[in-house]
Amino acid sequence: MPYFEYLPHLLLFTIGTLLGLQVSYRWHNEPFAIKKIEPIPLALALIGGVLTMFYLPLGLLFIGFVIGMRPGYGVYEAIIGILLALILWVAL
């Protein structure tokens, strides 16, 4: 059953992206992205970056939440979270 080995990873990442899209439409009414780093998505991206080292599906849920936000929102936060995950991966 190697096909179902990564199913939790894919499901939680997909759920995270859909939740991120839904929440970002509720948070932001303006149609364009303001180039600033928001604290809540940044915290979620950092939590996701740390959790990828310990339990990958849950970390992908948090990273997917930030990646799945409206186009233009959450880009910097997602990059910071992924970079933190890479730094932790190299360090450990």
Residue 5 φ/ψ, nearest 5 degrees: -70, -35
pLDDT of residue 73: 83
d(CA 22, CA 15): 11
pLDDT computed for residue 30 by the predictor? 76
What averages of pLDDT result for each successive group of 10 residues across the chain (92 residues)?
83 94 86 78 92 91 91 85 91 88
Please enumerate in sequence order all residues whose Cβ is within 8 A of that of 52, keeping only pairs 6 or more positions apart, or say none: 59, 60, 63, 85, 88, 89
How do residues 67-88 score in pLDDT, each as one tens digit?
Answer: 988 877 888 888 898 999 999 9
